[in-house]
């Protein structure tokens, strides 16, 4: 049996916009999602994040649940407009005080905080000034990062710079289905280039502040399979893989954008300035991969730029979640090895993985057998990867509790903890209790393996 060589970080993840609520209270400025959610027809059910889970007021209760479930690591994001309401300059002390209390409350409970700096809630004022389409965002972001390091760097050592840049640039600046609702290829490419620069800027800035900090950034990724063995479908899968899985990580690692496999990316060069090829590169301590499904790809002459289309799970009649995402646990193992093959990647953390299914409420019990089955099956491949990939060092469930799921509103529930939105009552689901037991069992097995390794080392001597 192969022995484990490094600590493994079991955790759970959330984000500010999706959970905090208090959107307009205690000096917080509006975000692009606060404004976007007020536009007619943009969010399912007309929902808004104004109240969400009231995490801003109930964080201690939620951290008590994290502690009770023996989850040692808690990933959350800081709301940029809560600490800098206009995006720059004027600090909102009440916002700083909230995150001071949150971080201290984590540490008091023996929970390690993992801070995501940007999880999509750009200050609205910065978007009015061009947002991710304006190269000035690099200086705005750097100012924000520096403030966070000054205020919280004495207690936080684990940092994630951006959350899923392909999603917030693609859905928000190309398709227009996410905030800020912009459309068009030029909008997308400029936002994407500036986000690529920002991830490198953030990593370098944090490491310069303290070289011992554990710094990375996170990517949405899906295992890509061609619909058939035809050359057209095979090449379509290569293009989709370049867009979904390589577009942002390869510039960071020094390879540049995958233009060879995705020729339309050549147009991104119009947004280059001097030394950008060097500025795009940084050295993360880890990358976070966020995997929920796989995509099956077919060639399509009618799809511009990429000439490919995704064949959805219902059409293929395969098991799927509430959001029509295929349940394909083998994909997470394949993706871990895909990213581990980059020599520049030091460590890999699965920073999000989970599923939305209907919950069945019976009194004070929440039966979520489909989510439980999903997590068990994915965990088989996580544990397999722990044995055969030395770079894998963490896994975070998405998410701690049900929350505001962007354009889908409150309909899809991903949480280990059920939220009754009529009264904000928290109830741990069956999957939450299972995850607790899984963590405890894994810690015990890791301890036994470590002791076995020490014993063998002594025997060899």
Query: Is residue 313 a contact partner of residue 292, using CB atoms and an 8 Å limit?
Result: no
SS (H, E, C) 124-143: HHHHHCCHHHCCCHHHHHHH
N residues, the chain = 461
Of the residues 20, 164, 250, 405, which is catalytic? 164
The separation between CA 211 and the C-alpha centre of its own chain, rounded to angstroms, equals 23
Q: Which residues contact 53 (CB under 8 A, 6 or more apart)?
A: 18, 19, 20, 21, 62, 401, 402, 403, 404, 419, 424
Neighbour tally for 361: CB within 10 Å: 13
Query: Which is nearest to 133 in space by CA: 166, 169, 164, 176?
Result: 169
The candidate with the shortest Cα–Cα distance to 429, out of 388, 390, 401, is 401
Spatial distance between the Cα atoms of 340 and 281, rounded to a whole number of angstroms = 18
C-alpha angle 153-157-158 in degrees, rounded to nearest 5? 125
State yes or no: is 344 an active-site residue: no
Angle (CA) 352-358-359 rounded to 5° is 95
Q: Which of 165, 223, 221, 227 is nearest to 192 (CA)?
A: 165
Which of the following is catalytic: 127, 295, 326, 352?
Answer: 352
H, E, C per residue of 277-326: HHHCCCCCCEEEEECCCEEEEEECCCCCCCCEEECCHHHHCCCECCCCCE
**Contact yes or no for 63/76 (Cβ under 8 A):** no
Does residue 326 have an active-site annotation? no
For residue 309 the two structure tokens come to: 């289309």
- The CA–CA distances, whole Å, from 105 to 46, 102, 341, 344, 415 equal 34, 5, 38, 35, 21
Sign of CA dihedral 46, 397, 220, 248: positive
3-class DSSP state of 187: helix
35/53 Cα distance (integer angstroms): 19
Residue 272 backbone phi and psi in degrees, to 5:
-70, 145
Q: Is the peptide bond before 180 cis (omega within 30 degrees of 0)?
A: yes
Q: Return the active site residues.
A: 164, 352
């Amino acid at each position: 049996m192969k022995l484990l060589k490094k600590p493994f970080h079991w955790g759970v993840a959330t984000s500010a916009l999706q959970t905090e609520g208090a959107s307009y209270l205690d000096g917080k400025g509006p975000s692009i999602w606060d404004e976007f959610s007020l536009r007619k027809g943009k969010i399912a059910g007309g929902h808004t994040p104004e109240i969400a889970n009231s995490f801003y007021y109930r964080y201690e209760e939620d951290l008590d649940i994290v502690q009770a479930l023996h989850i040692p690591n808690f990933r959350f994001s800081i709301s940029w407009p809560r600490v800098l309401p206009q995006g720059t300059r004027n600090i909102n002390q009440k916002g700083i005080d909230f995150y001071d209390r949150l971080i201290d409350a984590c540490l008091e409970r023996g929970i390690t905080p993992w801070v995501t700096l940007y999880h999509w809630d750009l200050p609205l004022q910065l978007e009015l000034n061009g947002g991710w389409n304006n190269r000035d965002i690099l200086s705005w972001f750097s100012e924000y990062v520096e403030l966070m390091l000054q205020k919280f760097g004495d207690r936080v050592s684990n940092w994630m710079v951006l959350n899923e840049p392909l999603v917030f640039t693609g859905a928000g600046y190309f398709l227009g289905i996410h905030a800020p609702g912009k459309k068009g290829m030029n909008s997308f490419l400029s936002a994407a280039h500036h986000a690529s620069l920002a991830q490198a800027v953030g990593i370098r800035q944090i490491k310069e502040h303290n070289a011992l900090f554990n710094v990375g950034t996170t990517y949405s990724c899906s295992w890509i399979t061609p619909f058939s063995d035809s050359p057209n479908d095979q090449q379509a899968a290569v293009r989709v893989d370049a867009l979904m899985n390589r577009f942002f990580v390869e510039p960071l690692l020094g390879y540049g954008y995958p233009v060879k496999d995705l020729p339309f990316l050549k147009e991104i060069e119009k947004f280059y300035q001097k030394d950008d090829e060097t500025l795009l590169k940084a050295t993360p301590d880890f990358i976070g991969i966020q995997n929920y499904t796989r995509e099956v790809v077919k060639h399509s002459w009618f799809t511009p730029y990429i000439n490919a289309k995704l064949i959805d799970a219902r059409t293929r009649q395969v098991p799927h979640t509430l959001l029509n995402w295929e349940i394909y646990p083998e994909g997470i193992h394949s993706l871990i090895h895909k990213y581990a093959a980059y020599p520049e990647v030091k460590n890999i953390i699965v920073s999000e993985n989970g599923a939305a299914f209907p919950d069945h409420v019976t009194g004070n019990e929440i039966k979520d057998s489909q989510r439980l089955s999903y997590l068990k099956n994915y965990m088989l491949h996580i544990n397999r990867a722990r044995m055969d990939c030395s770079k894998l060092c963490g896994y975070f469930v998405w998410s701690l509790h049900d929350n505001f799921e962007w354009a889908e509103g409150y309909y899809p529930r991903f949480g280990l903890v059920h939220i009754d939105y009529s009264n904000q009552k928290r109830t741990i689901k069956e999957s939450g209790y299972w995850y607790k037991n899984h963590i405890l069992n894994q810690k015990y097995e890791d301890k036994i393996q470590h002791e076995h390794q020490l014993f063998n080392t002594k025997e060899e001597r």
